[in-house]
A and B are shown apart, each in its own frame.
Chain A
């Protein structure tokens, strides 16, 4: 018989398998965060599936923001936070790596609870990350700025005022600008910490639809307190409480067949 034989058919099968079970781009192993005696994150183990929206749920103070900050190393800004464990992004452990921190952070786009446009023009906000990357070609920058502003549906609204201050936009527009600016550095992951909590329903809807559109190309981790939003968007759900992952799985598993009392109580409160 000789060598094992793989039919074209089984390769096809493998491809389908891959497509349904996406590889993890981000793996967290035994992540612990402490602030003094306060154990903020307790032995977190996670795999975030590629090109999916992973929703992070949990009561206030359970450590969602802290977890996101670990992922892009913003915990560095807080000396009191002691972080240990492993976080693998593209198989590189960012907690124990020699890679430069700005390079790691550019693999992720951050959307915070409230938009923080940089104190420069709309155009420069989007161009900012590119310039940091060393892109100097004016045409390329202009092309990219337009592309990403179109991607977030802002282009038509701002194309005639690209040089006005970004702070002159409405909050909803600012949040989309922040998304465009994050996308411009070509991240593979988007970290969104309650990105719609400061927005009106229409702007929230726009952001939600955007997420649905762009998840083909990006892996999105979304923290939200809006249960209906979670149900609308989630491909994968993680429920945390008091620094621990309580349940993790598909939306159906968590939203319809909650196994723990904690999650059930949370879902009841949410509705």
Chain B
């Protein structure tokens, strides 16, 4: 049966790969992103691939206020929200964040605070119906702070903990309520274009989209994609500090 999914950050490479899979199955999608011309192209593409587009909205998702009203309007237009998928985010620049508090705040605001601003009112709507899925894209960077990206890592860790709590609450309420947090490793997208890619740890958006779709349908509360990151991060978390501090990652 077609579902109504609301996609925040629909222009992200990983969001596009995921949405294409959802489109093929004929789901109804509401798309939100800040770049309106890119959003228009993606909307057309998803429609041809089989999606019904309920509506699409272009604005800065991190600066918005009035999320509750927007979500209600989205539910009015496209029908009750079966899933909220949070893809948008920025990696930011760690070195800059250390000396420029505004940049550090941006990283936190976009990846964490604003995500919470969207998820809480969506969760209200879902709790009222006793059904729905919230799926967020977090990062293995949140599993242990590292010198190369700990502001971003902290924001993602916050998001992961928040989702863990929501999942805990919902587990006690209904089987039909699921909070799913997907922790990604390295994915070849515009966000990582400044890095050297290649090697077995790098995944493609189309690859992680398979895991994300599966997690959306029946996963939770914590999903690593690709799956082997669960074990890599276990090892990294278990590494004693006197060793870890010498590792340059």
Q: A and B: partners?
A: no
Binding site for B on A (CB under 8 A): none
